[in-house]
């Protein structure tokens, strides 16, 4: 089951004025069975500062348009932009804080079709919209299942900046309640 409102929201562009969508089950009691295909949830935002962009890029992605505001101003981007991996990591923070179960997550095998649509710049605030695409119980381990979620990241003006499909393995409710 998922809330009707969330399910009927469909794929409309996110609005900066709406609040978080209600997942029908609290994050501390969310199991595989609670991820229902076609349900849509929205969460955020997190604002990215210039300092954070520079810090992340100097560690992980030291290209001048990520690490040097002066050099970036002469690049095709016309100014400093966040590493795409920084944007992905901020997406993960929203995904972990609001969507992924606190008790049933067993990690994820990977992600597919990650696309960066628009550079993220200092001061941008990111929100995510998550659509449950598919939830398949494991044949070999029936106490768990694989959930595929389509995640869109938007900036404060509703522009899409990134999208990807995330896979997560989640413990089923019965296994979770007997495991402890």
Least Å from the CB of residue 2 to its own copies: 23
Region near its own copies per CB under 8 A, out of 2-10, 15-23, 52-60, 129-137: 52-60
**Cα–Cα dist 151/160, whole Å:** 11
Region near its own copies per CB under 8 A, out of 4-12, 18-26, 109-117, 124-132: 109-117
When asked if residue 89 is in the footprint of its own copies (CB under 8 A), the reply is yes
Tokens encoding 144: 């768990």
Tokens encoding 108: 């994820």
3-class DSSP state for residue 161? strand
Question: For residue 125, what is the enclosing H or E element?
Answer: strand 125-137
Question: For residue 150, what is the enclosing H or E element?
Answer: strand 144-154
Region near its own copies per CB under 8 A, out of 22-30, 37-45, 115-123, 127-135: 115-123
- CA-nearest of 102, 109, 105, 111 to 153 is 111
Output 18 or 77, the one with its CB closest to its own copies. Answer: 77
When asked if residue 61 is in the footprint of its own copies (CB under 8 A), the reply is yes
**DSSP annotation string for 36-53:** -TT-EEEEEEEE--HHHH
Number of residues that bind its own copies (CB under 8 A): 36
When asked if residue 85 is in the footprint of its own copies (CB under 8 A), the reply is yes
* Site residues (vs its own copies, CB under 8 A): 56, 59-63, 65, 76-77, 81, 83-85, 88-90, 92-93, 96-97, 100, 102, 105-116, 119, 164
């Amino acid at each position: 089951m998922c809330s009707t409102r969330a399910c009927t929201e469909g794929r409309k562009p996110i609005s900066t004025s709406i609040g978080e969508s209600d997942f029908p089950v609290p994050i501390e009691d969310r199991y595989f069975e609670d991820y229902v295909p076609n349900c849509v949830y929205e969460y955020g935002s997190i604002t990215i500062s210039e300092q954070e962009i520079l810090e992340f890029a100097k560690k992980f992605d030291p290209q001048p348009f990520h690490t040097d505001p002066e050099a970036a101003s002469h690049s095709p981007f016309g100014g400093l932009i966040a590493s795409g991996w920084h944007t992905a990591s901020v997406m993960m923070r929203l995904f972990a804080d609001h969507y992924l179960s606190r008790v049933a997550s067993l990690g994820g095998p990977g992600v597919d079709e990650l696309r960066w649509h628009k550079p993220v710049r200092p001061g941008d605030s990111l929100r995510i919209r998550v659509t449950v695409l598919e939830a398949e119980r494991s044949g070999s381990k029936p106490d768990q299942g694989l959930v595929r979620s389509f995640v869109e990241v938007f900036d404060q003006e509703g522009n899409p900046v990134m999208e990807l499909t995330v896979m997560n393995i989640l413990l089923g409710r019965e296994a979770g309640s007997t495991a402890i």
